[in-house]
């Protein structure tokens, strides 16, 4: 493409992604996309999907799901950009170094940085009761909804009760 022999390169491959430590990939990530050249303006579009396994951050149930990302970058040879341009526009360019474009680095970083901070079994997961640990999706437990703050217990022992003179 840099020599002008083709105007489009299709991308379709598998790679082993690095995910946050509390999840594990199930198989490899599937990456698809293309690089197009339009009168010397090269554009990269990529999408990746990875199946993963983890634990719900609220109810601790096992979770197996798919996470997908997409990215678009302008492809530029490192000799045409200054170090400052690359640094300031890191999310804008896919930089060709020594005639090679490292797609694993680009899509791997995008997967890692955009992966959810907390894995949930479903967005509205109610979690567990903090007292007994019963999953809240199974219904109410017998635990009190609110417990009084123990720091106020002394005041509760000396609670003021109105007498007949206060009612008049």
For position 161, what pLDDT does the model report? 67
Bigger pLDDT: 78 vs 116: 116
pLDDT in tens, 53-90: 999 999 999 999 999 999 999 888 777 766 676 666 66
Mean pLDDT of 122-151: 87
pLDDT > 90 fraction of the chain, expressed in percent and rounded: 46
Phi and psi for 155 in degrees, rounded to 5?
-70, -35
SS (HEC) of 57-94: CCCCCEEEEEEEEEEEEEEEEHHHCCHHHHHHCCCCEE
30/51 Cα distance (integer angstroms): 9
For position 126, what pLDDT does the model report? 93
Report the mean per-residue pLDDT for the chain: 85
pLDDT in tens, 81-104: 666 766 666 677 787 788 788 899
Q: What is the pTM of this model?
A: 0.72
């Amino acid at each position: 493409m840099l020599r002008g022999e083709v105007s489009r390169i299709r991308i379709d491959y598998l790679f082993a992604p690095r995910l946050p430590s509390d999840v594990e990939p199930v198989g490899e990530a599937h990456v698809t996309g293309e690089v197009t050249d339009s009168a010397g303006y090269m554009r990269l579009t990529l999408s990746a999907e990875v199946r993963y396994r983890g634990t719900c951050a609220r109810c601790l149930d096992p979770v197996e799901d798919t996470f997908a990302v997409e990215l678009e970058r302008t492809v530029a040879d490192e000799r045409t950009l200054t170090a400052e341009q690359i640094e300031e526009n890191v999310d804008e360019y896919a930089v060709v170094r020594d005639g090679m474009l490292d797609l694993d680095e680009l899509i791997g970083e995008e997967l890692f940085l955009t992966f959810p901070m907390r894995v949930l079994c479903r967005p509205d997961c109610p979690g567990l009761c903090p007292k007994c640990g019963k999953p809240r999706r199974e219904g109410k437990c017998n635990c009190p909804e609110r417990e009084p703050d123990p720091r106020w217990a002394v005041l509760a022992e000396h609670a003021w009760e109105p007498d007949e003179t206060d009612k008049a």
